Chains A and B, each alone.
Chain A
């Protein structure tokens, strides 16, 4: 817990010191951190905007770039036109799928006002957008960029849908008045977050999921850091891999649950990054 707090502070404090700005003006979040992208975690955020120019989040130095149409002897570039900046030792910011690149080997020092390029569709991109990620090289982890960027004005609360209880052989939707057999289940819950600055249907992953059973906190998942453990990308605070967490589209695993005979009260608290919270309570009757 203490370690997590230190890591969190390490990001919040430099965030304030460096006064990070959004890489785009009027940003619209269309994919958030650790969201399901082609069956793997998104290591950053996808942003759209009516403004096309991409700026660095703070002053820094171009330490790596590649272009969409690489030379035959280069490796391919699914991130399209990409720029990687270093802001302080070990803190890197990534700007991908750019339309064009305005920096090179001789023009590599950037400030907040530098135009890195324009948002585009280069590489494996889902429409005109910017993929932006923050890598903490000292701790070897991708950081939720929203931890270091100014807040987005969003008052929409996440939506909690159905709760499912699974055994290796079956999956049951928790319905009011329905009785289940007592035992150990894997819980999965439908969650979609929405932002009120997006005009089209664009669900997002939440920032945190807390699950209480009869008032006791059983599971807490925070979408803050992604790291590598034993060759698998995992959420840092829970060590959940993608397949551990995502049980289907917008269906998040809430871990293992012991349902004793009698009445069980399951409370789910889901927050988005702006702190908008939704709480939903499920009551389960179980028999032996």
Chain B
């Protein structure tokens, strides 16, 4: 019964890979492992209800938790937006004065009496205020632990190892340590405007990445020197992006990636070599598979999502398209977990 139920979705994925997949890197291929349709709310009970190894997902109008074997432990329709991590979620409506913090199994954990939208990132939880000037850090139960108020708009947030790096419209980019102290402020001053468009802090706060200004838009790479940070490298970027720019560091910390219009730039931090990965659409996500050293880009064009893989040198490995907006993409030990439209899929990257 189960096999029959999954024949069509598996066939669908295989067709896409056969007709739209481009295998250029012959040593690697994708092996479909399972496909799950996410169409109804699911609340699993024990033993599947053990959420220890559960992975959160969100795509299209759905979010929830799954196991690597394909068991869906929990799924629920997104109200307006959802913040979800391994320890729970907040499924919120567009106008709210009270956010409900819930466990992965859906039970209520606490409430947050704040007007704003939640953001879960890097193992920390926050609420961005209605005016987008204030970031409130909350604990797992939703109790307020810290508040960071800025004079103007918060334009980017990066959280890693307890460090919070915040980009703003008019106050530069501010690095906050685990104690909640502002330890460094980056103030750009060479462009026509000094707005921060993208920020990223690397693991163990060794490096910072900032995309700032327009005419020119500048990428700045900073590294920690004692108690402060020094500019290691700065580069004028091409056509300025005037919205939040996705940027970050690879999991091994050796490469930085920066969103550009119709491309993603990979910057080797030690050699400063740059590689441009072509992008057909708007970047949604860029991640590195540390086990194989591959980079994955996820782009959206109209109502389709394009998944592509590249080597660090920029050689295309494979790419395929799936229907659906706001896709989900996660890489874990050479397994790709993909969510698009109403399907959650696992594909394994295997050597031929």
A residues at B contact (CB < 8 Å): 37-38, 40, 43, 62-67, 69-79, 84, 86, 92, 94, 104-106, 108, 121-126, 135, 137, 140-141, 227-228, 231-233
Contacts and interface: CB of A to CB of B under 8 A. Distances in A.
Interface of A is mostly: loop
14 contacts: A43-B133, A63-B214, A63-B242, A71-B285, A72-B285, A73-B246, A75-B156, A75-B157, A78-B116, A78-B128, A92-B169, A105-B240, A137-B169, A141-B151
B285 A64 contact: no
Interface of B: 58-59, 81, 83, 94-97, 115-119, 128-134, 147-157, 169-171, 193, 195, 197, 214, 239-244, 246, 261, 282-285, 300, 326, 328
A111 B102 CA distance: 47
Contacts of A73: 246, 284-285
A63 B152 CA distance: 14
B149 A232 contact: yes
Contacts of A67: 243
A63 to B, nearest CB: 5
Contact of B118 (A76, A140, A232): A76
Given A75-B244, A105-B239, A232-B149, A63 B58 contact: no
Nearest to B114: A38
Q: Name the 5 nearest CB pairs between A and B, nearest first.
A: A76-B117, A38-B115, A124-B130, A228-B151, A137-B170
A140 B170 contact: yes
Given A72-B328, A92-B152, 7 more contacts: A37-B130, A64-B195, A71-B283, A72-B284, A76-B117, A79-B131, A105-B242
Contacts of A66: 243-244
Contacts of B133: 43, 233
A43 to B, nearest CB: 6
B243 A64 contact: yes
Contacts of B116: 78, 124
A227 B147 CA distance: 17
Contacts of B115: 38, 78, 124
A125 to B, nearest CB: 7
A255 B332 CA distance: 60
A119 B192 CA distance: 29
Given A79-B132, A105-B241, A233 B214 contact: no
B169 A76 contact: no
Nearest to B96: A124
B323 to A, nearest CB: 17
Contacts of B156: 75
Contact of A84 (B134, B154, B169): B169
A208 to B, nearest CB: 23
